Structures are given as C-alpha cells and as structure tokens.
Amino acid sequence: MKKSSVIQAGIFALSAIAAAGLSSAACADSGTIRISVLKAGWFLGASGGSGTLTFHGRRYPLSIGGLSAGLVFGASKSELAGRVSNIRRPSDVTGVYGAAGAGAAIGSGAQAIVLRNSNGAILQMQGRQVGLEANLDLSGLQISMR
C-alpha cells in the first residue's frame, strides 16, 4: 500500500509541474517584429541595424547589433519580418540570440530564421537578403529597446 501512495504522489507531482508549465505558457503573448540588418566580415563579422516590435497595438523601436566568428566573407543586408512569441511584455524581446549557421548569398535571395533568447522569446522571421556573402559561423545577435 505504501508503494502505491508513492506512485500516486509522483503522478500528482508530475501533473502539477506540467500544469504550471502550461499555465505560464498560456499567459505568454505574441507580437510582430520587423528588422533591417547590415552584416559585413572577413573571418570576423559584425552586424548592426534597427527594427520595430509591435505588441498590443503599440510600436517599440529596437536596436540590433552582433558579432560572428568562423568563415565569414562579404557583406549583405537583410530585411526580415515575422512573429515574436512567448513574451509577456515588450522588454522580453531584448537580449542575446545565438545561432550557428551556414549559407551564401549572391545578389538577392530568401532568408528564414528562428531564434530564442534567455527570456524565452522566440523570433520566427523571413525576408530577403541582398549582397555577396558566404558564411559558416557562430553568431550572436543583441536586440535592445531604444
């Protein structure tokens, strides 16, 4: 009988943890984001730009900066738009987003990216990239509110 009580308590605890995780995700909200980023590099790369977060009908200006290390060659400009999810307030979008990537752009092409920061914000963006660039690198993107 003692063993079944332990099993029941374990099941109850797991159910409570799952419910807490679902309730916190249910409280999270989403918005839209648009960014414009210039990137250039030769083995080490740097990027910078600006953007706008739209959340609950209000617009929040953003600053973008970043570094890349690895095989980085060339320069490009990306115009991306999409959705940001799992945020409770606009400041949840701020922070560092890390990515490992490989790609090439000659002229103009499509680009899609999904990133996550330490606040749990998830960016899902797509758009166009223009320039001449080849990369196989690790990069970090810093988003801050202006």
What sections of 2-145 are H helices per DSSP?
Answer: 2-27
Domain coordinates in residue numbering, the chain? 29-145
- Residue with tokens 């988003």, as numbered in its chain: 143
Closest CA to 135 of 61, 75, 88, 82: 75
Rounded to whole angstroms, the Cα distance separating 72 from 54 reads 32
Rounded to whole angstroms, the Cα distance separating 124 from 64 reads 16
Q: Would you write out the chain's pLDDT as a tens digit for each of its 146 residues?
A: 455 554 555 455 445 444 444 444 556 899 999 999 999 988 888 999 999 999 999 999 999 998 888 878 889 898 999 999 999 999 999 999 987 666 667 778 777 888 899 999 999 999 888 888 777 767 788 999 99
pLDDT given for residue 23 in this prediction:
42
pLDDT given for residue 22 in this prediction:
44
pLDDT given for residue 135 in this prediction:
75
pLDDT given for residue 8 in this prediction:
53
Domain 29-145 has CATH 2.40.128: yes
DSSP 99-113: EEEEEEEEEEEEEEE
Its pTM stands at 0.75
